[in-house]
Amino acid sequence: MFRADGRWPAAEEGLDPYPIWIAEVMLQQTQLQVVLPYWQRWMQAFPKLEVLAAASEQQVLLLWQGLGYYSRARRLHATSRLLLTELQRHQRDGNDPMPFSDWPFDPEIWLALPGIGRSTAGGILSSAFNSPRAILDGNVRRVLARLHAHPVPPIRAQAQFWAWSEELIDAVPGLSRDLNQALMDLGAIVCTPRRPSCELCPWDAHCAAYAAGSPQQYPVKEAPRDIPFQVIGVGVVLNDAAEVLIDQRLNDGLLGGLWEFPGGKQEPDEVITDTIRRELREELAIEVNVDNKLITVDHAYSHKKLRFEVYLCRWISGDPQPLASQQVRWVKPSNLADYPFPAANGRIIAALLERLA
């Protein structure tokens, strides 16, 4: 049925893998209603693989701005170039669209690409090619946990949950695309986290959690962890030309590659204005006057909560150096929209523009 090189034999039997791949990566750790407008804007800006591969990383991050988990965007961009190189080896005319038949069908090829795990690979291959590959995203885990009233958190029983998902795939040969989509829709629309509509579920007669009268107790959750809280002093530094200083985060770590206003963590018993002066001296080798507070922004990540205490600053001396970042830049405040910033910085930019108006 399949070609000897493990690729799908006929393009008309599959769907375009490119938009499916983009959607699968965007849906990692993010809900569909949040992803949909981002996916639509992405497909307008980067309608095919070649366009994405030719884009700059900053263009990609700017379009991703606000979606979170920015390493996904950088990995998508890097993967696009790897895939393009692979696909061009199978393309006769470099100006033609990439034929679907030349996209990799072997899951091992996908798993070797940046940012592609087992469930994402299964989602791409089953959706694009109707390949008999199981998936295990958050919706499917929740459905399976309730169906079997599994007594431990799914993350501690991955092998069992994968076995259940694969059993379902094996039970409906030739319908992998429809089954996986139905499982995701069931979890997103009916078997929801807080108010499951069990009366609408086609599996209510087979669901152990429903039979026990306690579907909301599943999936079993890990014991909650204490989330650390940190105060960050941020300096919005203006020079005599009314330009503002921004720096680009290192690619490694949280929010890599994005731009931000400089600053850092407040030390114990440290006055926040002293924090800002110290951080700008240590990270940028500049001296500033810390003036009035601009705004306070609270922002929560999955692993910590931050409070940004933001002050307007006047540059005094020192040529800004990227001692803890990729690069620094003086820009006109009106041009800040051209740079990708973390979500919390959007309120800072709005407050700055209002103050300067």
Where does residue 203 rank: exposed (0-12), middle (13-18), buried (19+ CB within 10 A)?
A: middle
How many whole angstroms separate alpha carbon 8 and alpha carbon 166?
Answer: 21
How do strand 229-238 and strand 287-300 relate by DSSP bridges? unpaired
Which one is catalytic: 24, 50, 260, 309? 24
* 352 vs 349: CA distance, rounded Å: 5
Amino acid at 54: A
**Mean pLDDT computed over 317-328:** 93
pLDDT digits (tens, 9 = 90+) for 254-288: 788 899 999 999 999 999 999 999 999 999 999 99
State the pairing for strand pair 259-260/244-248: antiparallel
Q: Which residue has the higher pLDDT, 8 or 127?
A: 127
What digits encode the pLDDT tens for the residues 198-253?
999 999 999 999 999 999 999 999 888 888 999 999 999 999 999 999 999 988 77
CA distance 286 to 284: 5
The Cα–Cα gap between 354 and 357 comes to: 5
Query: Which pLDDT belongs to residue 274?
Result: 96
Cis peptide before 19 (omega within 30 of 0): no
Told to judge if 24 belongs to the known catalytic residues of this protein, a careful annotator would answer: yes
Lowest mean pLDDT among 191-195, 274-278, 299-303: 299-303
Reported as a single tens digit per residue, the pLDDT across 132-182 is: 999 999 999 999 999 999 999 999 999 999 999 999 999 999 999 999 999
Identify the residue whose tokens are 């090829």: 109
Bridge partner residues of 326 (DSSP): none
Is it the case that residue 91 has pLDDT exceeding 70? no
CA distance 158 to 311: 47
Per-residue pLDDT, averaged over 344-350, amounts to 91
Q: What are phi and psi of 204, to 5 degrees?
A: -60, -35
Other residues' Cβ atoms within 10 Å of the Cβ of residue 61: 22
Residue 312 in tokens: 């307007």
Res 276: pLDDT: 96
Q: What is the pLDDT of residue 3?
A: 35
Check: CB of residue 204 under 8 Å from CB of residue 210: yes
pLDDT of residue 95: 47
Residue 304 and residue 229: Cα distance in Å, rounded? 6
- Tell me what percent of the residues of the chain surpass a pLDDT of 70: 92
Q: What is the average pLDDT across 119-136?
A: 92
Residue 312, phi-psi category: left (phi > 0), alpha (psi -120 to 50), beta (remainder): beta
The two three-digit tokens of residue 306, written as one number: 């931050």
What is the per-residue pLDDT for 176? 93
The pLDDT score that the predictor gives to residue 99 is: 52
Residue 96's pLDDT band, with cuts at 50, 70 and 90, is: low
| E-strand stretches of the chain | 229-238, 244-248, 259-260, 263-265, 287-300, 305-317, 327-331
Query: Is residue 15's pLDDT more than 90?
Result: no
pLDDT of 29-76, one tens digit each? Answer: 788 888 899 999 999 999 999 999 999 999 999 999 888 888 899 999
Q: At what angle are helices 71-88 and 17-26 packed, to 10 degrees?
A: 160
The answer on pLDDT for 1 being more than 70 is no
Query: What does the pLDDT read at residue 125?
Result: 93
